[in-house]
Structure 1
Amino acid sequence: MNLTAPQKSRLKVLIVDDHLAIQQDLEYFFQQQSDFIVVGACGTVHEAKELINATKPDLLLLDIGLPDGTGFDILDYKPTQAKVIFMTAYNDNASLALRYSAIDYLLKPINENELREALQKVIKAHPLLREQIDIAQDSFRKRKKPDCIVLQSGQFEEITEVKDICYIQGEHGSTVVFLNGGKKVVTPKCLKYYEELLPAELFLRTHYSYLVNKFYIQRKHRKKDILSLKDGTEIPVSLRKKEMINLHFKTL
């Protein structure tokens, strides 16, 4: 564990990763950044807690898998103003847990350009909500898809129950999530992101631009490639998705 004296006005960074080479690479990277300074680096949950108390970092770079626990364990001890970027080796369960909760993460080995982009986002972002941490932690530990996900919308993160999502429409590089009751949330993620995130047993990709919750489908037009939802919304069905939709109705 090492500790460095902070310089005024820079954002203080704490690195937590049990690979010394990664610690050193990240420290070297931050030496080239005028807006950040590394105030500590360590490889265990226990050391991280001590360094958090000692340095009050503005940003935590956390590995998920550590010798004495996980990066999630550290979040219970972080100062409320600290922002977080997770680092993880390619792991479907770990990365999905973070995606459910809209927590930024980087895949190892760390790409410098991706790290720079993540840092720019984290400067503008709000600290994590307690609910975001709980969703990610619960999904990671229980290896299950959660009942809630976090939708990013402009400057906000919104906790949303999966069952309340009626359908999602992709448009111009972003998506609009339509919720039960008429509310809608515009997010910067693409439709493919939500198709991979949400359970396939609940959602159908009916069209290039639409992902629909099966629960809200009421009927299928026989002569038109259209689905009607319970609230009267009409959803198009593409030609290549028509057979899948027909099979869905046959199996009900």
Structure 2
Amino acid sequence: MTALIIEDEAAAARRLRKLVRQIDSTIQIIGELDSVETSVDFLLNNDSPDLIFLDIHLADGSSFDIFHYVEVRCPVIFTTAYDEYALKAFQVNVIDYLLKPIKAPALEQALEKHRRLNVGAPEINYRKLVESMLPEGADKRFLLRVGSQLRVVKMNEVAYFNTEDKVTLLTTHSGKRYPIDYSLEQLNEMVPSAEFFRINRQFIIRLAAIAEMHAYSKSRVKLVLNPLCKLETIVSTERSPHFKRWLEGQ
């Protein structure tokens, strides 16, 4: 059996590897990763392991983000020092988790459970499970591929989204632009409505990215964004009444 350890604390990863070897020397640890980015890259470009030990809190955010970008089909044993909300969901869905510091008897019991239950067991859709577990308003992140590398952009870094030549782009407050694998329709459902507004078919903008507003024809509003955008950003006629209420916080 092959296993992958995803853990951002080096000491905890070494301890887990040592315990696994002590309990079952036939388990081959094929890698130790410490972030969402490296984990997604590994899982996209390598054969799936037979088992993943997954820390909930990683160096660049929540390990739950991994399931948004990779379809994980192998069993997962979560490790955590806290997060009662997650533990309750795991219990309901019969998913194994280990509380830190991990003890040998608990690890042995979890491994034995997987040996007994995973043959012919129904596949767990981790992505849907994680989405149901995240609290309302939880901070989202976007994992973007830039050439051969991956980059995580936090929601609070985003200034606006727009489409150009059938490509959806994300622009950060620092002016960096990245292609993103979501449509504006999908993004409109993902971003917090108090902070973002879809002004027309081509743009979703953040309130903090509005530098200037000017009256335009037919009661429309023309925006100047920061960072500056080469395309015109005009609130559509049908969106203008909603836009004004959004500005007022309604």
TM-score, normalisation: structure 2: 0.48
Greater C-alpha Rg? 2
TM-score, normalisation: structure 1: 0.47
